[in-house]
């Protein structure tokens, strides 16, 4: 069975500081992993995806994530936080025998000026 766990429902960072949002997955086979961002009153927007081509995945808005099989992790990072990064972030894993996605409970990122 596939699932994801996002540690830390709320994360606060100072503007310009490193952003680290954690995601751990459980999967019986190599998964497909995704990070999405949700701004208030909007739908989810794809940040990046891991599909086994490369373990370090670069996404939009300066975000990247590294797939670590040994740690079953897919943490999202950004070197320098910007005020516009304040949003809700969701990690998701796809069911590899179909198209269903399993989402984490989300991490709310606050950027302090």
Instruction: Let me know: does 90 contact 38? Beta carbons within 8 Å.
Output: yes
Alpha carbon distance 18, 30 (integer Å): 28
| Closest C-alpha to 4, from 107, 105, 108 | 105
- Binding to another protein by residue 95, rule CB under 8 A? yes
| Closest C-alpha to 90, from 54, 62, 49 | 49
Helix (H, G, I), strand (E, B) or coil at 57: strand
If the CB atoms of residues 75 and 104 are measured against another protein, the closer one turns out to be: 104
If the CB atoms of residues 70 and 97 are measured against another protein, the closer one turns out to be: 97
- Binding to another protein by residue 110, rule CB under 8 A? no
26 to 45: interface string for another protein, x by CB under 8 A: ------x-x-x----xxxxx
- Binding to another protein by residue 55, rule CB under 8 A? no
What is the contact surface with another protein in residues (CB under 8 A)? 9, 32, 34, 36, 41-46, 49, 51, 90, 94-106
């Amino acid at each position: 069975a596939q699932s994801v766990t996002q540690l830390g429902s709320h994360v606060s960072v100072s503007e310009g500081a490193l952003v680290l949002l954690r995601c751990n997955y459980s999967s019986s086979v190599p998964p497909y992993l995704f990070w999405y961002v949700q701004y208030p009153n909007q739908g989810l927007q794809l940040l990046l995806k891991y599909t086994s081509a490369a373990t370090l995945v670069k996404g939009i808005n300066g975000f990247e994530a590294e797939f670590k099989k040994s740690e079953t992790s897919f943490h999202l990072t950004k070197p320098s936080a910007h005020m516009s990064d304040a949003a809700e972030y969701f990690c998701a894993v796809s069911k590899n025998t179909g198209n269903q996605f399993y989402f984490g409970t989300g991490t709310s990122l606050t950027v302090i000026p």
